[in-house]
Amino acid sequence: MIRLIAKKDFLLNLLSVRFIIGFVLCLVIIPFTVTVSVDDYLARVRIYEIEQKKADDGMKKARVWSAVRPVIVTRPEPLSIFSAGITNNAGNSVKIAFDACPLFPSGHISTRDNPLLNAFFSIDFSKVIAILISLIALVFAYDSITREREDGTMKLSLTGQVSRISFLSGKLAGLLLTLLPILLFCYLLACLIIVVNPGIALSAADWGGIALLFFSSAIYMLVFILLGMFISGIVKSSSSSIIVSLLCWIWFLFLTPNISTYLSQSIVKTPLYDNVQSVMHDYDKAFEEDYFAVWRRIRNEMGIKNLNFYNNRDGEDGLREITGGTRTAPLFLLRLYPEIIPLTLSNADKKWALQRNYLGELEKQQRLQQRIALLSPSELFRQITEAICSTGAGNFLKYMEQIRYYREGVIRYFTDNKLFASSLYFTPQPLEEYPAEEEIASLANEEERQARIAKNSWMYPCLDTSNVPVYRQQQPFSLPGALDGAFTRLAALFGLVVLLLAAMIASFMKYDVR
Amino acid sequence: MLQTIELTKRYEDGLLALDALSLEIRPGEIFFLLGANGAGKTTTINLLLNFIEPTSGKALINGIDVMEQPLETKKHVAFVSENVMLYGNFTARQNLDFFARLGGKTHLAKSDYYNVMRRVGLQEEAFERKLKTFSKGMRQKVGLAIAIIKDASNIVMDEPTTGLDPKSAAELMQILLRLRDAGKAILMCTHDLFRAKTVADRVGIMKEGRLVMLRTREEFLQDDLERIYLNYMQEAVL
Ligand SMILES: Nc1ncnc2c1ncn2[C@@H]1O[C@H](COP(=O)(O)OP(=O)(O)OP(=O)(O)O)[C@@H](O)[C@H]1O
Ligand SMILES: [Mg+2]
């Protein structure tokens, strides 16, 4: 009997106008959004490749260790096509330096070149699914019970060999039978667009992720089907049911996300980053004073009157590359850096302590927002898709954590190999090649003197940086990892299904069929 | 056989819609239940079909309590409601097919459906037409066909003649007589005194949830049914 009712509802749904409208809506919107997302992804991959090449070149071209700055370029995940998450809120590259810990990536924020264009770039597949599928589910489910009552078919059906519970199960099965194909169709369409695109290669794990996404979407859809049926079972007429359903829809999809953001921002106040920066600036000032104090002390101890760098390249982040001139300068720097580097590192740590506090506040705010947003199944769904596609805030924070850990590794590599104490830290020119002051003074011929001191970087080979630790993402995308991140939320969504199912059955058992 | 024993229904708002009604409709009998609007006729049917729960008393179909074994009792009863819309996007035959299967009749052929529809007087061209294009009376005929095709031993009808043209109504009465002769117990709630006079085997008159009069065919033929009815109604005014 359940099969019979399910089949009947399936046929009736197929024949209804809303089915055609829903289908056409998917047919138009899904290809459009996926195409936009795919373009966006391909553009990000292109930028990634360019930046990665730049980063590699930078490492290969370094002639002194102080110029070695590993740059980590974030490789875009193919799954971000499905759920962009916050990938477009942050940059894509992190430079590892000794004078600061990386807080957020810098570099390309998004692929939008024209800031004057305000299109819905942030709409991605999962958001469209969240909006479209919930709406379609409600539009199909809102009158599933009221309509049967209004048309008198419920009474007639219940005079047949069917109990209330199987009547309800049949209706639910009929709705699933109608809507699951629509959902599947959306996914197939999206996958088709991705597969025919030669620029995108999906791994087996990615396919697993997509399957998981589909599974979550199906549960999400079930939530809204049950919600619609539940509403249909507690109100008397279809017209009030559609109103209540749409109000719920608006509440869940548009109000809760905004309310949760607003509430979290007003409950947890984060300090302005400008304030953090100004304190950091003070630290840098103090560091500079210490730096010059050391500088002067060593100069005095060495009895250097005139400190001249023949060729000098320096940067704010601690870069120094000298060549040529006499031996005084390298000898001075050879004493300076082992003393300065610990200061630099501890200054970076001090600044990081400030930033970490700040980050902690941001995290607190973000966690609160996520928690408040759990009031809405669509927010829950969004968090699940972000966890599956590893594009959410949690993944991002973990990623930055790994990068900071990697920075420690780089520092360890430098200390272990005594690179800070080596002349190669600041000059590619071998120390023996530098002439002593007296030697230069003894040379009468200006030409000869020039030949001894005029040296240039390009005359020396680049460093072999192949042994510098390379950043490896500790957890590349994997299905168990994604499942792990999404599990509790998926379980919560499932719990909601059970709850709604129970509520729906309970209310329908008492439903007045007249 | 349809039976109510001291059947009482008090609605949540306190209204006593049915007050200890005891009735028995035997196989091969057409029972007309008459009564003013709000007398409790539909309530009786709703209780017989287990759509609502009685406050006290029992309703039995073929001797089985409808509360205890609802599915079992529904095998033995067919129902025609007063204004059924059915599934507008299905054709008459599809509607018939669905409800026949729901009633447990799974092995019917197309010709069976056509025969029943012919029997209730639905025009041939409408058999495969979508129900949303039907007139009220045509829908009513499909509703009748649904009840007939179930071939249950009891038939409960709530004002089935509303919307039927005189010819169809007369045909319905012929069908009822034939069903009765086939041994079915038929409960018919109606305001139609004229039909009651022509086909009823017994007539009951309800007032404010109580059965105030019960006559067999011989009894009410001797007297004028209309006069009896009005007499009982007038007592309320007095
Ligand atoms: N759901 C309900 N809640 C409260 N009272 C109700 C409900 N349904 C019916 N009633 C009341 O019960 C009484 C009997 O109603 P019922 O529908 O059985 O009358 P009826 O004899 O079928 O009338 P009609 O000839 O108009 O169809 C009426 O007074 C009605 O107001
Ligand atoms: Mg009535």
Q: What is the tally of structural domains in chain A?
A: 1
* Ligand 1 atom closest to residue B41's alpha carbon, by position in its atom list: 21
Looking at residue B237, its pLDDT comes to 46
**B96 closest CA partner among B112, B82, B81:** B112
CA of B38 to the centre of ligand 2 (A): 7
State the DSSP string of A316-334. TTS-EEEESS-SHHHHHHH
What pLDDT score does B202 carry?
93
pLDDT per position as a tens digit, A230-269: 999 999 899 999 999 999 999 999 998 888 888 888 888 8
Rounded Cα distance between A501 and A507, Å, is 10
For residue A109, pLDDT beyond 70: no
pLDDT at B238: 45
Mean pLDDT across A366-381: 88
Judged by CB atoms closer than 8 Å, whether chains meet at A152 and B85 is answered as yes
Which among B184, B201, B124 is positioned nearest to B148, based on CA atoms? Answer: B184
CA A386 – CA A85 distance, rounded (Å): 6
pLDDT at A419 exceeding the cut of 70: yes
Contact call for B90 and A5, based on CB within 8 A: no
Which domains does chain B show, CATH number per domain?
1-69+191-238 (3.40.50.300)
Note down the domain range covering A319.
273-376+410-459
Tell me which amino acid residue A28 is. Answer: V
Q: Cβ–Cβ of A514/B52 closer than 8 Å?
A: yes
Provide residues of A within 8 Å CB-CB of chain B: 1, 4-5, 8, 11-12, 15-16, 150-153, 155-163, 512-514
Q: Given the CA of residue B206, which atom of ligand 1 is nearest to it?
A: 21
* A107 pLDDT above the threshold of 90: no
Cα distance between residue A455 and residue A384, in whole Å: 60
Per-residue pLDDT at A348 exceeds 90: yes
Q: What is the mean pLDDT of chain A?
A: 88
Angle at B71 between CA B68 and CA B73, to 5 degrees: 75
A353 pLDDT band (50/70/90 cuts)?
A: very high
Please tell me the least confidently modeled range out of A276-280, A499-503, B141-145, B217-221.
B217-221
DSSP state of A425: G
Q: Please give the DSSP secondary-structure letter assigned to residue A106.
A: B
pLDDT band at residue A121 using 50, 70 and 90 as cut-offs: low
ipTM of the complex: 0.92
Residues with CB under 5 A from ligand 2 (ion): B 42
Q: How confident is the model at residue A377 (pLDDT cuts 50, 70, 90)?
A: very high
Query: Looking at residue A79, what DSSP letter applies?
Result: G
Residue type, B53: E
Contact B184, B79 (CB under 8 A): no
CA distance to partner chain B, nearest, from residue A161 (Å):
5
Q: Residue B50, Cβ neighbours under 10 Å: how many?
A: 24
Asked if residue A87 belongs to a domain, the reply is no
Measuring CA to CA, which residue among A91, A84, A74 is closest to residue A37? A84
| pLDDT tens digits, one per residue of A286-339 | 999 999 999 999 999 998 888 888 899 888 788 899 998 888 899 999 999 999
| Best residue in B101, B130, B151, B158 for a mutation probing chain A (most A CBs within 10 Å) | B101
Lowest mean pLDDT among A84-98, A349-363, B24-38, B194-208: A84-98
Domain-embedded: residue A302: yes
What is residue A487's predicted lDDT score, i.e. its pLDDT?
87
Instruction: List, for residues A167-194, the tens digit of each pLDDT value.
Output: 999 999 999 999 999 999 999 999 999 9
Q: Tell me which residues of chain B have a pLDDT lower than 50.
A: 237-238
For atom 7 of ligand 1, the residue with the nearest CA is B11
pLDDT computed for residue A114 by the predictor = 56
Q: What is the DSSP string of B47-86?
A: HHTTSS--SEEEEEETTEETTT-HHHHHTTEEEE-SS---
pTM above 0.95, yes or no: no
- Residue A135 confidence (pLDDT) above 60: yes
Examine residue A430 and state whether it is found in any structural domain, yes or no.
yes
